[in-house]
A and B are shown apart, each in its own frame.
Chain A
Amino acid sequence: MTKLTFIAHDGTHFDVDAENGSTVMENAIRNAVPGIEAECGGACACATCHVYVDEAWTAEVGEPEAMEEDMLDFAYDVQPNSRLSCQIKVRDALDGLVVRVPARQG
Chain B
Amino acid sequence: MTNITRTDVLIIGAGPVGLFAVFELGLFDMKCHLIDILDRPGGQCAELYPEKPIYDIPGWPSISAQGLVDKLLVQIHPFKPEFTYNRMVSSLEKLEDGSFRVVTDENEVFEAKVVVIAAGGGSFQPKRPPIPGIEPYEGKSVFYSVRRMEDFRGHDLVIVGGGDSALDWTLNLQPVAKSVTLVHRRPEFRAAPDSVNKMYAMQEMKELDFQVGQVTGLTGADGQLSSAIIKGPDGDVEVACTRMLPFFGLTMKLGPIADWGLNLHENMIPVDTEKFQTSVPGIFAVGDINWYPGKLKLILSGFHEVALMAQAAKRIISPGERIVFQYTTSSTSLQKKLGVHD
Give A residues with C-beta under 8 Å from B.
39-40, 43, 45-46, 69-70, 72-78, 104, 106
Contact = CB atoms under 8 A, between A and B. Distances in A.
Majority SS at the chain A contact face = loop
A75 B130 contact: yes
Contacts of A78: 185, 214
Contact of B130 (A40, A43, A69, A104): A104
B162 interface: yes
Interface of B: 48-49, 52, 127-128, 130, 161-163, 184-186, 188, 190, 214, 248-249, 251-252
Contacts of B214: 77-78
**Prevailing SS type, chain B contact patch:** loop
Contacts, number: 42
B49 A106 contact: no
A73 to B, nearest CB: 5
B251 A76 contact: no
Contact of A70 (B48, B52, B127, B190): B190
Given A70-B190, A73-B185, A104-B130, 12 more contacts: A39-B252, A43-B48, A43-B49, A45-B49, A72-B185, A73-B163, A74-B127, A76-B130, A77-B130, A78-B185, A78-B214, A106-B127
B48 A46 contact: yes
Nearest to A73: B162
Contacts of B249: 46, 73-74
Contacts of A39: 251-252
Contacts of B52: 43, 45
B190 A40 contact: no
Given A39-B251, A46-B251, A69 B188 contact: yes
B199 to A, nearest CB: 16
A106 B48 contact: no
B185 A106 contact: no
Given A39-B251, A73-B161, A73-B185, A45 B48 contact: yes
**6 interchain residue pairs of minimum CB distance:** A76-B130, A45-B48, A43-B49, A70-B190, A74-B249, A45-B49
Nearest to B65: A43
A74 B126 CA distance: 11
B138 to A, nearest CB: 16
